[in-house]
Chains A and B, each alone.
Chain A
Protein backbone atom coordinates (compact mmCIF):
# COMPACT_ATOMS: atom_id res chain seq x y z
CA UNK A 1 0.00 0.00 0.00
CA UNK A 2 1.13 3.52 -0.66
CA UNK A 3 2.15 5.63 2.33
CA UNK A 4 -0.12 8.37 1.02
CA UNK A 5 -3.25 6.42 2.01
CA UNK A 6 -3.24 7.37 5.75
CA UNK A 7 -3.58 11.05 4.82
CA UNK A 8 -6.59 10.19 2.63
CA UNK A 9 -8.18 8.07 5.34
CA UNK A 10 -7.93 10.92 7.85
CA UNK A 11 -10.40 12.85 5.71
CA UNK A 12 -13.08 10.15 6.16
CA UNK A 13 -15.95 10.80 8.61
CA UNK A 14 -15.33 9.77 12.26
CA UNK A 15 -11.63 9.09 11.55
CA UNK A 16 -9.47 11.14 13.87
CA UNK A 17 -6.07 9.71 12.96
CA UNK A 18 -4.37 7.11 10.72
CA UNK A 19 -0.85 5.73 10.69
CA UNK A 20 0.96 3.18 8.58
CA UNK A 21 3.53 0.55 9.57
CA UNK A 22 5.69 -1.87 7.72
CA UNK A 23 6.15 -5.42 9.00
CA UNK A 24 9.05 -7.57 7.79
CA UNK A 25 9.26 -11.23 8.86
CA UNK A 26 12.52 -12.39 10.42
CA UNK A 27 13.55 -15.94 11.25
CA UNK A 28 11.10 -18.09 13.25
CA UNK A 29 8.16 -16.24 14.75
CA UNK A 30 9.97 -12.89 14.90
CA UNK A 31 9.07 -9.83 12.86
CA UNK A 32 10.53 -6.33 12.68
CA UNK A 33 8.16 -3.37 12.47
CA UNK A 34 8.89 -0.01 10.92
CA UNK A 35 6.90 2.93 12.33
CA UNK A 36 6.91 6.60 13.05
CA UNK A 37 7.05 7.00 16.84
CA UNK A 38 5.33 10.40 16.79
CA UNK A 39 2.41 8.95 14.78
CA UNK A 40 2.25 6.00 17.15
CA UNK A 41 2.11 8.38 20.13
CA UNK A 42 -0.79 10.22 18.48
CA UNK A 43 -2.59 6.90 17.83
CA UNK A 44 -2.50 5.47 21.35
CA UNK A 45 -0.15 7.40 23.62
CA UNK A 46 3.02 5.65 22.46
CA UNK A 47 5.38 3.23 24.16
CA UNK A 48 6.25 3.25 27.84
CA UNK A 49 10.01 2.93 27.99
CA UNK A 50 11.52 0.81 30.79
CA UNK A 51 15.09 1.59 29.75
CA UNK A 52 16.54 4.09 27.26
CA UNK A 53 14.29 6.12 24.98
CA UNK A 54 12.83 6.58 21.50
CA UNK A 55 14.35 6.12 18.05
CA UNK A 56 16.57 9.04 17.09
CA UNK A 57 19.10 7.88 14.51
CA UNK A 58 18.49 5.69 11.48
CA UNK A 59 20.31 2.69 13.00
CA UNK A 60 18.38 2.83 16.25
CA UNK A 61 16.16 -0.04 17.33
CA UNK A 62 13.79 -0.46 20.24
CA UNK A 63 12.62 -3.84 21.60
CA UNK A 64 10.05 -4.94 24.17
CA UNK A 65 11.02 -6.32 27.58
CA UNK A 66 10.35 -10.03 26.73
CA UNK A 67 12.39 -9.90 23.53
CA UNK A 68 15.21 -8.14 25.39
CA UNK A 69 15.05 -10.76 28.16
CA UNK A 70 15.07 -13.71 25.74
CA UNK A 71 17.89 -12.32 23.57
CA UNK A 72 19.79 -10.85 26.55
CA UNK A 73 19.70 -7.37 25.03
CA UNK A 74 20.45 -4.13 26.85
CA UNK A 75 20.40 -0.49 25.89
CA UNK A 76 23.62 0.30 24.01
CA UNK A 77 24.01 -3.24 22.60
CA UNK A 78 24.55 -3.80 18.88
CA UNK A 79 22.42 -6.27 16.94
CA UNK A 80 22.73 -7.48 13.38
CA UNK A 81 19.38 -8.05 11.68
CA UNK A 82 18.62 -8.21 7.96
CA UNK A 83 22.35 -7.81 7.34
CA UNK A 84 22.21 -4.46 9.04
CA UNK A 85 23.80 -3.33 12.32
CA UNK A 86 21.35 -1.81 14.76
CA UNK A 87 21.88 -0.15 18.10
CA UNK A 88 19.43 -0.84 20.93
CA UNK A 89 18.35 2.55 22.27
CA UNK A 90 15.24 1.62 24.24
CA UNK A 91 13.38 -1.24 25.91
CA UNK A 92 9.62 -0.72 26.18
CA UNK A 93 6.81 -2.32 28.12
CA UNK A 94 5.39 -5.19 26.08
CA UNK A 95 1.80 -5.49 24.90
CA UNK A 96 1.72 -2.80 22.22
CA UNK A 97 1.99 -3.41 18.47
CA UNK A 98 5.32 -5.22 18.14
CA UNK A 99 8.41 -6.62 19.84
CA UNK A 100 11.06 -5.10 17.56
CA UNK A 101 10.66 -1.61 16.06
CA UNK A 102 12.79 0.62 13.85
CA UNK A 103 12.15 3.78 11.85
CA UNK A 104 9.60 3.28 9.07
CA UNK A 105 11.66 4.99 6.37
CA UNK A 106 14.78 2.94 7.17
CA UNK A 107 12.88 -0.36 6.98
CA UNK A 108 11.22 0.68 3.70
CA UNK A 109 14.65 1.43 2.21
CA UNK A 110 16.23 -1.74 3.54
CA UNK A 111 13.50 -3.97 2.11
CA UNK A 112 13.40 -2.12 -1.21
CA UNK A 113 9.88 -0.84 -0.64
CA UNK A 114 10.19 2.94 -0.33
CA UNK A 115 6.79 4.62 0.08
CA UNK A 116 5.02 1.32 0.84
CA UNK A 117 3.13 0.15 3.93
CA UNK A 118 2.01 -3.25 5.25
CA UNK A 119 -0.69 -2.14 7.64
CA UNK A 120 -2.63 1.03 8.41
CA UNK A 121 -4.17 1.70 11.82
CA UNK A 122 -7.13 4.05 12.03
CA UNK A 123 -8.35 5.81 15.11
CA UNK A 124 -12.06 6.76 15.24
CA UNK A 125 -13.81 9.32 17.40
CA UNK A 126 -15.94 6.75 19.23
CA UNK A 127 -15.33 2.97 19.53
CA UNK A 128 -19.05 2.44 18.91
CA UNK A 129 -18.68 3.80 15.38
CA UNK A 130 -15.78 1.45 14.53
CA UNK A 131 -17.96 -1.14 12.74
CA UNK A 132 -19.82 1.52 10.79
CA UNK A 133 -16.54 3.14 9.69
CA UNK A 134 -15.15 -0.26 8.63
CA UNK A 135 -18.30 -1.03 6.64
CA UNK A 136 -18.10 2.35 4.95
CA UNK A 137 -14.38 1.95 4.10
CA UNK A 138 -14.97 -1.59 2.75
CA UNK A 139 -17.57 -0.17 0.38
CA UNK A 140 -15.34 2.69 -0.69
CA UNK A 141 -12.07 0.73 -0.98
CA UNK A 142 -12.99 -2.72 -2.33
CA UNK A 143 -10.14 -5.26 -2.42
CA UNK A 144 -8.55 -4.03 0.79
CA UNK A 145 -8.78 -6.16 3.90
CA UNK A 146 -10.33 -3.85 6.47
CA UNK A 147 -11.25 -5.02 9.97
CA UNK A 148 -12.12 -3.65 13.37
CA UNK A 149 -9.45 -4.48 15.98
CA UNK A 150 -11.90 -6.95 17.51
CA UNK A 151 -12.25 -8.84 14.22
CA UNK A 152 -8.52 -8.68 13.58
CA UNK A 153 -7.51 -10.16 16.94
CA UNK A 154 -10.16 -12.88 16.68
CA UNK A 155 -8.50 -13.99 13.44
CA UNK A 156 -5.42 -14.90 15.43
CA UNK A 157 -7.30 -17.64 17.36
CA UNK A 158 -6.75 -21.26 16.25
CA UNK A 159 -10.27 -21.64 14.85
CA UNK A 160 -9.39 -19.10 12.17
CA UNK A 161 -6.22 -20.80 11.01
CA UNK A 162 -7.05 -23.51 8.49
CA UNK A 163 -6.30 -27.10 9.63
CA UNK A 164 -4.51 -25.87 12.77
CA UNK A 165 -7.29 -27.11 15.02
CA UNK A 166 -7.17 -30.55 13.38
CA UNK A 167 -3.38 -30.58 13.59
CA UNK A 168 -3.47 -29.72 17.29
CA UNK A 169 -6.12 -32.42 17.80
CA UNK A 170 -3.82 -34.99 16.16
CA UNK A 171 -0.85 -33.83 18.29
CA UNK A 172 -2.94 -34.12 21.47
CA UNK A 173 -4.20 -37.55 20.37
CA UNK A 174 -0.66 -38.78 19.75
CA UNK A 175 0.46 -37.33 23.10
CA UNK A 176 -2.40 -39.10 24.89
CA UNK A 177 -1.59 -42.46 23.26
CA UNK A 178 2.15 -42.10 23.85
CA UNK A 179 1.55 -40.99 27.46
CA UNK A 180 -0.70 -43.99 28.07
CA UNK A 181 1.81 -46.41 26.55
CA UNK A 182 4.73 -44.92 28.53
CA UNK A 183 2.86 -45.17 31.84
CA UNK A 184 1.59 -48.66 30.96
CA UNK A 185 5.06 -49.92 29.99
CA UNK A 186 6.74 -48.33 33.03
CA UNK A 187 4.30 -50.04 35.41
CA UNK A 188 4.36 -53.28 33.42
CA UNK A 189 8.15 -53.49 33.69
CA UNK A 190 8.14 -52.43 37.34
CA UNK A 191 5.63 -55.11 38.33
CA UNK A 192 7.22 -57.76 36.12
CA UNK A 193 10.50 -57.14 37.95
CA UNK A 194 8.65 -57.76 41.20
CA UNK A 195 7.48 -61.25 40.22
CA UNK A 196 9.85 -62.67 42.84
CA UNK A 197 8.39 -60.40 45.53
CA UNK A 198 4.90 -61.56 44.56
CA UNK A 199 6.21 -65.13 44.83
CA UNK A 200 7.51 -64.39 48.36
CA UNK A 201 4.12 -63.00 49.38
CA UNK A 202 2.40 -66.07 47.98
CA UNK A 203 4.89 -68.37 49.73
CA UNK A 204 4.13 -66.84 53.13
CA UNK A 205 0.42 -67.40 52.63
CA UNK A 206 -0.88 -64.31 50.90
CA UNK A 207 -3.92 -64.90 48.72
CA UNK A 208 -3.98 -63.72 45.10
CA UNK A 209 -6.74 -61.25 45.98
CA UNK A 210 -4.67 -59.68 48.76
CA UNK A 211 -1.60 -59.34 46.49
CA UNK A 212 -3.66 -57.73 43.72
CA UNK A 213 -5.32 -55.47 46.28
CA UNK A 214 -1.92 -54.29 47.60
CA UNK A 215 -0.69 -53.81 44.02
CA UNK A 216 -3.84 -51.92 43.05
CA UNK A 217 -3.61 -49.53 46.02
CA UNK A 218 0.12 -48.95 45.55
CA UNK A 219 -0.34 -48.26 41.83
CA UNK A 220 -3.28 -45.93 42.42
CA UNK A 221 -1.24 -43.95 44.97
CA UNK A 222 1.76 -43.82 42.62
CA UNK A 223 -0.40 -42.69 39.68
CA UNK A 224 -2.07 -39.97 41.75
CA UNK A 225 1.27 -38.79 43.13
CA UNK A 226 2.79 -38.89 39.64
CA UNK A 227 -0.11 -36.85 38.26
CA UNK A 228 0.28 -34.21 40.97
CA UNK A 229 4.05 -34.04 40.41
CA UNK A 230 3.45 -33.87 36.63
CA UNK A 231 1.02 -30.99 37.01
CA UNK A 232 3.46 -29.22 39.34
CA UNK A 233 6.18 -29.68 36.71
CA UNK A 234 4.06 -27.87 34.10
CA UNK A 235 4.45 -24.79 36.29
CA UNK A 236 8.20 -25.40 36.01
CA UNK A 237 8.04 -25.41 32.21
CA UNK A 238 5.83 -22.35 32.34
CA UNK A 239 8.42 -20.56 34.49
CA UNK A 240 11.18 -21.72 32.13
CA UNK A 241 9.35 -20.38 29.07
CA UNK A 242 8.65 -17.09 30.76
CA UNK A 243 12.30 -16.66 31.68
CA UNK A 244 14.13 -18.25 28.74
CA UNK A 245 11.96 -17.79 25.64
CA UNK A 246 9.49 -15.22 26.87
CA UNK A 247 9.48 -13.42 23.51
CA UNK A 248 8.58 -16.52 21.46
CA UNK A 249 6.59 -19.05 23.48
CA UNK A 250 3.73 -18.84 25.93
CA UNK A 251 2.32 -21.73 27.93
CA UNK A 252 -1.24 -21.57 29.12
CA UNK A 253 -2.52 -23.81 31.92
CA UNK A 254 -5.65 -25.61 30.76
CA UNK A 255 -7.32 -26.76 33.98
CA UNK A 256 -9.81 -28.96 32.10
CA UNK A 257 -6.92 -31.24 31.17
CA UNK A 258 -5.95 -31.97 34.79
CA UNK A 259 -8.63 -34.64 35.37
CA UNK A 260 -8.14 -36.01 31.84
CA UNK A 261 -4.37 -36.40 32.27
CA UNK A 262 -4.91 -37.92 35.72
CA UNK A 263 -7.38 -40.37 34.19
CA UNK A 264 -4.85 -41.35 31.52
CA UNK A 265 -2.10 -41.85 34.13
CA UNK A 266 -4.32 -43.88 36.46
CA UNK A 267 -5.80 -46.05 33.69
CA UNK A 268 -2.37 -46.66 32.13
CA UNK A 269 -0.75 -47.43 35.47
CA UNK A 270 -3.50 -49.74 36.72
CA UNK A 271 -3.64 -51.69 33.49
CA UNK A 272 0.16 -51.83 33.37
CA UNK A 273 0.31 -53.14 36.94
CA UNK A 274 -2.64 -55.50 36.96
CA UNK A 275 -1.70 -57.41 33.76
CA UNK A 276 1.73 -58.64 34.99
CA UNK A 277 0.31 -58.82 38.55
CA UNK A 278 -2.36 -61.35 37.51
CA UNK A 279 0.28 -63.21 35.51
CA UNK A 280 2.55 -63.37 38.56
CA UNK A 281 -0.13 -64.51 41.04
CA UNK A 282 -1.26 -67.23 38.63
CA UNK A 283 2.31 -68.45 38.25
CA UNK A 284 3.52 -71.41 40.29
CA UNK A 285 5.08 -70.11 43.55
CA UNK A 286 8.31 -72.00 42.97
CA UNK A 287 8.64 -70.46 39.48
CA UNK A 288 7.88 -66.97 40.81
CA UNK A 289 10.48 -67.43 43.56
CA UNK A 290 13.15 -68.39 41.02
CA UNK A 291 12.45 -65.24 38.90
CA UNK A 292 15.63 -63.16 38.62
Chain B
Protein backbone atom coordinates (compact mmCIF):
# COMPACT_ATOMS: atom_id res chain seq x y z
CA UNK B 1 0.00 0.00 0.00
CA UNK B 2 1.21 3.50 -0.75
CA UNK B 3 1.46 6.19 1.83
CA UNK B 4 -1.14 8.94 1.54
CA UNK B 5 0.16 11.89 -0.48
CA UNK B 6 2.95 9.84 -2.09
CA UNK B 7 2.25 9.27 -5.77
CA UNK B 8 3.13 5.82 -7.10
CA UNK B 9 5.49 5.65 -10.10
CA UNK B 10 3.56 5.28 -13.36
CA UNK B 11 6.21 2.78 -14.54
CA UNK B 12 7.99 0.56 -12.06
CA UNK B 13 10.17 -2.44 -12.83
CA UNK B 14 12.06 -4.63 -10.38
CA UNK B 15 14.53 -7.30 -11.44
CA UNK B 16 13.00 -7.37 -14.91
CA UNK B 17 14.52 -9.98 -17.20
CA UNK B 18 13.71 -11.05 -20.72
CA UNK B 19 15.30 -13.99 -22.46
CA UNK B 20 14.70 -14.69 -26.13
CA UNK B 21 15.24 -18.01 -27.78
CA UNK B 22 17.10 -17.61 -31.07
CA UNK B 23 17.16 -21.11 -32.50
CA UNK B 24 18.63 -23.22 -29.69
CA UNK B 25 20.50 -20.28 -28.19
CA UNK B 26 18.93 -18.30 -25.32
CA UNK B 27 19.61 -14.56 -25.59
CA UNK B 28 19.38 -12.62 -22.33
CA UNK B 29 18.22 -9.24 -23.59
CA UNK B 30 17.27 -7.81 -20.17
CA UNK B 31 19.24 -8.89 -17.09
CA UNK B 32 17.45 -7.38 -14.13
CA UNK B 33 16.20 -3.89 -14.93
CA UNK B 34 15.07 -1.66 -12.05
CA UNK B 35 13.37 1.49 -13.28
CA UNK B 36 10.92 4.04 -11.96
CA UNK B 37 9.21 6.73 -14.02
CA UNK B 38 6.90 9.23 -12.35
CA UNK B 39 3.80 10.81 -13.84
CA UNK B 40 4.46 13.68 -16.28
CA UNK B 41 8.16 12.78 -16.54
CA UNK B 42 9.96 12.79 -19.88
CA UNK B 43 12.57 10.05 -19.63
CA UNK B 44 15.05 9.04 -22.30
CA UNK B 45 16.66 5.61 -22.30
CA UNK B 46 19.90 5.64 -24.21
CA UNK B 47 22.22 2.84 -25.12
CA UNK B 48 24.16 1.30 -27.93
CA UNK B 49 22.67 -1.19 -30.33
CA UNK B 50 22.09 -4.50 -28.52
CA UNK B 51 21.93 -2.89 -25.07
CA UNK B 52 18.36 -4.12 -24.57
CA UNK B 53 16.58 -0.77 -24.83
CA UNK B 54 14.18 -1.90 -27.59
CA UNK B 55 13.36 -5.07 -25.64
CA UNK B 56 12.58 -2.87 -22.62
CA UNK B 57 10.29 -0.78 -24.88
CA UNK B 58 8.46 -3.93 -26.01
CA UNK B 59 8.04 -5.25 -22.45
CA UNK B 60 6.91 -1.90 -21.01
CA UNK B 61 4.43 -1.52 -23.87
CA UNK B 62 2.98 -4.97 -23.22
CA UNK B 63 3.99 -6.10 -26.71
CA UNK B 64 5.85 -9.07 -25.28
CA UNK B 65 5.71 -10.64 -21.79
CA UNK B 66 8.67 -10.43 -19.37
CA UNK B 67 10.55 -13.60 -18.42
CA UNK B 68 10.83 -12.72 -14.74
CA UNK B 69 10.68 -9.78 -12.34
CA UNK B 70 7.85 -7.32 -11.85
CA UNK B 71 6.61 -4.64 -14.22
CA UNK B 72 3.93 -2.26 -13.01
CA UNK B 73 2.31 0.12 -15.47
CA UNK B 74 -0.08 2.60 -13.92
CA UNK B 75 -0.41 0.26 -10.94
CA UNK B 76 -1.13 -2.89 -12.96
CA UNK B 77 1.31 -5.80 -12.91
CA UNK B 78 2.24 -6.88 -16.42
CA UNK B 79 3.96 -10.12 -15.43
CA UNK B 80 0.72 -11.82 -14.43
CA UNK B 81 -1.28 -10.52 -17.39
CA UNK B 82 -2.67 -12.75 -20.14
CA UNK B 83 -2.24 -11.83 -23.80
CA UNK B 84 -5.78 -10.37 -23.87
CA UNK B 85 -5.10 -8.29 -20.76
CA UNK B 86 -1.92 -6.91 -22.29
CA UNK B 87 -3.95 -6.05 -25.42
CA UNK B 88 -6.35 -4.16 -23.16
CA UNK B 89 -3.44 -2.32 -21.57
CA UNK B 90 -2.17 -1.21 -24.98
CA UNK B 91 -5.65 -0.03 -25.87
CA UNK B 92 -6.13 2.27 -22.88
CA UNK B 93 -2.92 2.93 -20.98
CA UNK B 94 -0.04 3.03 -23.44
CA UNK B 95 0.47 4.99 -26.66
CA UNK B 96 3.22 4.09 -29.12
CA UNK B 97 5.48 6.00 -31.48
CA UNK B 98 7.69 3.77 -33.61
CA UNK B 99 10.86 4.52 -35.55
CA UNK B 100 9.20 3.42 -38.82
CA UNK B 101 5.99 5.37 -38.03
CA UNK B 102 3.88 2.21 -38.55
CA UNK B 103 0.89 4.01 -40.03
CA UNK B 104 -1.65 1.96 -41.96
CA UNK B 105 -0.85 2.76 -45.60
CA UNK B 106 -4.40 2.39 -46.92
CA UNK B 107 -5.92 4.85 -44.45
CA UNK B 108 -5.67 8.64 -44.41
CA UNK B 109 -3.79 10.32 -41.56
CA UNK B 110 -7.15 11.17 -39.96
CA UNK B 111 -8.40 7.58 -40.21
CA UNK B 112 -5.10 6.29 -38.80
CA UNK B 113 -5.89 8.31 -35.69
CA UNK B 114 -9.60 7.52 -35.63
CA UNK B 115 -9.09 3.75 -35.90
CA UNK B 116 -7.25 3.83 -32.56
CA UNK B 117 -10.26 5.60 -31.02
CA UNK B 118 -12.52 2.99 -32.64
CA UNK B 119 -10.43 0.12 -31.26
CA UNK B 120 -10.61 1.67 -27.77
CA UNK B 121 -14.39 1.87 -28.14
CA UNK B 122 -14.39 5.67 -27.95
CA UNK B 123 -16.21 8.32 -29.95
CA UNK B 124 -14.25 8.82 -33.19
CA UNK B 125 -14.94 12.56 -33.31
CA UNK B 126 -11.99 14.75 -32.33
CA UNK B 127 -12.72 16.91 -29.27
CA UNK B 128 -11.60 20.59 -29.17
CA UNK B 129 -8.65 19.74 -26.93
CA UNK B 130 -7.36 17.17 -29.43
CA UNK B 131 -7.91 19.56 -32.35
CA UNK B 132 -5.65 21.95 -30.46
CA UNK B 133 -3.04 19.14 -30.21
CA UNK B 134 -3.30 18.59 -33.98
CA UNK B 135 -2.67 22.32 -34.49
CA UNK B 136 0.29 22.09 -32.13
CA UNK B 137 1.65 19.18 -34.15
CA UNK B 138 1.11 21.18 -37.36
CA UNK B 139 -0.78 18.44 -39.21
CA UNK B 140 -4.35 19.78 -39.15
CA UNK B 141 -4.19 20.49 -42.90
CA UNK B 142 -2.60 17.12 -43.76
CA UNK B 143 -5.24 14.89 -42.19
CA UNK B 144 -6.96 13.92 -45.44
CA UNK B 145 -3.72 12.61 -46.96
CA UNK B 146 -2.52 9.04 -46.96
CA UNK B 147 0.90 8.28 -45.40
CA UNK B 148 2.60 8.01 -48.82
CA UNK B 149 1.71 11.66 -49.47
CA UNK B 150 3.31 12.81 -46.22
CA UNK B 151 6.97 13.51 -45.42
CA UNK B 152 8.73 11.43 -42.77
CA UNK B 153 8.37 14.25 -40.25
CA UNK B 154 4.66 14.62 -40.98
CA UNK B 155 4.13 10.85 -40.71
CA UNK B 156 5.86 10.82 -37.33
CA UNK B 157 3.66 13.70 -36.13
CA UNK B 158 0.58 11.73 -37.21
CA UNK B 159 2.00 8.75 -35.30
CA UNK B 160 2.41 10.97 -32.21
CA UNK B 161 -1.19 12.19 -32.58
CA UNK B 162 -2.32 8.56 -32.89
CA UNK B 163 -0.26 7.69 -29.81
CA UNK B 164 -1.93 10.28 -27.57
CA UNK B 165 -5.48 10.46 -29.01
CA UNK B 166 -6.85 8.14 -26.31
CA UNK B 167 -5.06 10.15 -23.60
CA UNK B 168 -2.84 7.24 -22.51
CA UNK B 169 -1.05 7.32 -19.18
CA UNK B 170 2.28 6.77 -20.96
CA UNK B 171 3.60 7.55 -24.43
CA UNK B 172 6.34 5.12 -25.42
CA UNK B 173 8.57 6.24 -28.27
CA UNK B 174 11.12 3.92 -29.87
CA UNK B 175 13.77 5.88 -31.77
CA UNK B 176 11.13 8.42 -32.94
CA UNK B 177 13.75 10.40 -34.86
CA UNK B 178 15.65 7.40 -36.22
CA UNK B 179 14.31 7.88 -39.76
CA UNK B 180 14.28 11.70 -39.79
CA UNK B 181 16.75 14.37 -40.87
CA UNK B 182 18.11 16.73 -38.24
CA UNK B 183 15.55 19.49 -38.95
CA UNK B 184 12.55 17.15 -38.66
CA UNK B 185 14.16 15.41 -35.66
CA UNK B 186 14.41 18.71 -33.80
CA UNK B 187 10.81 19.56 -34.69
CA UNK B 188 9.45 16.19 -33.53
CA UNK B 189 11.48 16.23 -30.29
CA UNK B 190 10.40 19.82 -29.65
CA UNK B 191 6.77 18.80 -30.06
CA UNK B 192 7.16 15.85 -27.70
CA UNK B 193 8.73 18.16 -25.14
CA UNK B 194 5.85 20.59 -25.66
CA UNK B 195 3.26 17.82 -25.14
CA UNK B 196 5.04 16.81 -21.96
CA UNK B 197 5.10 20.39 -20.67
CA UNK B 198 1.64 21.53 -21.73
CA UNK B 199 -0.40 18.35 -21.23
CA UNK B 200 1.69 16.65 -18.57
CA UNK B 201 2.06 13.64 -20.87
CA UNK B 202 4.41 11.01 -19.45
CA UNK B 203 6.90 10.05 -22.15
CA UNK B 204 9.49 7.31 -22.20
CA UNK B 205 11.73 7.60 -25.23
CA UNK B 206 14.23 5.00 -26.42
CA UNK B 207 17.12 6.43 -28.41
CA UNK B 208 20.75 5.90 -29.20
CA UNK B 209 21.15 9.61 -29.97
CA UNK B 210 22.41 11.73 -27.05
CA UNK B 211 21.21 14.95 -28.75
CA UNK B 212 17.68 13.54 -28.83
CA UNK B 213 18.01 12.40 -25.21
CA UNK B 214 18.91 15.96 -24.16
CA UNK B 215 15.24 16.95 -24.70
CA UNK B 216 14.22 14.65 -21.82
CA UNK B 217 14.02 15.59 -18.12
CA UNK B 218 16.02 12.51 -17.17
CA UNK B 219 18.37 10.25 -19.10
CA UNK B 220 18.76 6.58 -18.21
CA UNK B 221 21.64 4.64 -19.73
CA UNK B 222 21.53 0.97 -20.63
CA UNK B 223 24.31 -1.49 -21.35
CA UNK B 224 24.21 -5.26 -21.78
CA UNK B 225 20.58 -5.52 -20.64
CA UNK B 226 21.09 -3.52 -17.45
CA UNK B 227 20.61 0.10 -16.40
CA UNK B 228 23.94 1.67 -15.53
Q: Check A201–B63 contact: CB distance below 8 A.
A: no
Contacts of A286 in B (CB 8 A): 58, 63-64
Count how many pairs of residues, one from A and one from B, have CB atoms less than 8 Å apart in the complex: 50
The answer to whether residues A289 and B98 also contact, given A197-B104, A204-B162, A205-B88 and a CB cut-off of 8 A, is: yes
The answer to whether residues A205 and B92 also contact, given A285-B63, A286-B64, A289-B102 and a CB cut-off of 8 A, is: yes
B90, B102, B103, B106: the one within 8 Å of A205 (CB):
B90
Q: Is B227 positioned at the interface, with any CB of A under 8 Å from its CB?
A: no
Q: How far is the CA of A197 from the CA of B111 in the complex (A)?
A: 14
Instruction: Identify which of residues 128-163 in chain B touch chain A, using a CB-to-CB cut-off of 8 Å.
Output: 162
Q: Is B199 positioned at the interface, with any CB of A under 8 Å from its CB?
A: no
> What is the size, in residues, of chain A's interface with B at 8 Å between Cβ atoms?
15
- Minimum CB–CB distance for A156 against chain B, Å: 52
Q: Check B119–A201 contact: CB distance below 8 A.
A: yes
Which secondary structure dominates chain A's binding surface?
helix
Instruction: Identify which of residues 166-201 in chain A touch chain B, using a CB-to-CB cut-off of 8 Å.
Output: 196-197, 200-201
Instruction: Identify which of residues 74-105 in chain B touch chain A, using a CB-to-CB cut-off of 8 Å.
Output: 84, 87-92, 96, 98, 102-105
A200, A207, A284: the one within 8 Å of B102 (CB):
A200
Q: Give the contact-size bracket for chain B.
A: 20 to 34
The answer to whether residues A203 and B96 also contact, given A285-B63, A286-B63, A286-B64 and a CB cut-off of 8 A, is: yes
Q: Is B60 positioned at the interface, with any CB of A under 8 Å from its CB?
A: no
Q: Is A237 positioned at the interface, with any CB of B under 8 Å from its CB?
A: no
Q: How far is the CA of A236 from the CA of B100 in the complex (A)?
A: 45
Q: Check A200–B87 contact: CB distance below 8 A.
A: no
Q: Check A203–B102 contact: CB distance below 8 A.
A: yes
Q: How far is the CA of A202 from the CA of B103 in the complex (A)?
A: 13
The answer to whether residues A205 and B64 also contact, given A200-B102, A289-B102 and a CB cut-off of 8 A, is: no
Contacts of A207 in B (CB 8 A): 84, 87
Q: Check B105–A205 contact: CB distance below 8 A.
A: no
Q: Is A118 positioned at the interface, with any CB of B under 8 Å from its CB?
A: no
Q: Check B87–A202 contact: CB distance below 8 A.
A: yes
Q: Is B116 positioned at the interface, with any CB of A under 8 Å from its CB?
A: yes
Contacts A204-B91, A205-B89 aside, 9 further interface pairs with beta carbons under 8 A come to A200-B103, A200-B104, A204-B115, A204-B119, A205-B87, A205-B116, A207-B87, A285-B58, A286-B64
Q: What are 22 residue pairs bridging A and B, where the CB atoms are less than 8 Å apart in the complex?
A: A196-B102, A197-B104, A197-B105, A197-B106, A200-B102, A200-B104, A203-B61, A203-B63, A203-B96, A204-B90, A204-B91, A204-B116, A204-B119, A204-B162, A205-B90, A205-B92, A205-B119, A206-B119, A285-B64, A286-B58, A289-B98, A289-B102
